[in-house]
C-alpha cells in the first residue's frame, strides 16, 4: 500500500540543542534503514519549512502507524497521511 505522508517538525523553544542533534542523527539512521528496505520510497523537503513530503510503501495502515511512531522525532511531528492507489493513466506498471 502506498501512502503520502507529510511531516512537520516543531521543536519546542529552548529544547536542549545537544539532545536535538542526537535525535536528528537517530532520525537520519532510521530513515536510511527504512529507505534501504524499500519502505520509505521517496522524501522531499518542503522549501522554507522544517517539513517533508514522503511516499511510504507498506503492507497495512497498522504497519505505517508503527513505523511513524518509531521515528525518533515523532514526538515533535504533526503528520498528515493520505492513502494512494495507482492511476489508470500511469505509464509505469510499478508506480515508481
Domain of 47 in residue numbering reads as 2-84
Query: What's the CATH number where 20 sits?
Result: 3.30.70.1060
* Residue numbers of the chain with a pLDDT score lower than 70: 95-96
What is the rounded distance in angstroms from the CA atom of residue 57 to the CA atom of residue 39?
5
Report how many domains make up the chain.
1
Q: Is residue 53 part of a domain?
A: yes
Q: Is residue 16 part of a domain?
A: yes
Containing H/E element for 18?
A: helix 17-36
Task: Determine the pLDDT at residue 95.
Answer: 64
| Nearest alpha-carbon partner for 2 in 37, 51, 41 | 41
Task: Determine the pLDDT at residue 96.
Answer: 58
pTM exceeds 0.85: yes
Task: Determine the pLDDT at residue 38.
Answer: 94
Amino acid at each position: 500500500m502506498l501512502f503520502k505522508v507529510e511531516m512537520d517538525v516543531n521543536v519546542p523553544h529552548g529544547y536542549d540543542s545537544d539532545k536535538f542533534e542526537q535525535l536528528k542523527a537517530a532520525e537520519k539512521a532510521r530513515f536510511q534503514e527504512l529507505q534501504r528496505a524499500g519502505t520509505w520510497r521517496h522524501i522531499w523537503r518542503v522549501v522554507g519549512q522544517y517539513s517533508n513530503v514522503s511516499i511510504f510503501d507498506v503492507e497495512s495502515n497498522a504497519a505505517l502507524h508503527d513505523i511513524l511512531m518509531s521515528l525518533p522525532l515523532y514526538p515533535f511531528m504533526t503528520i498528515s497521511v493520505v492513502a494512494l492507489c495507482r492511476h489508470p493513466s500511469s505509464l509505469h506498471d510499478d508506480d515508481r
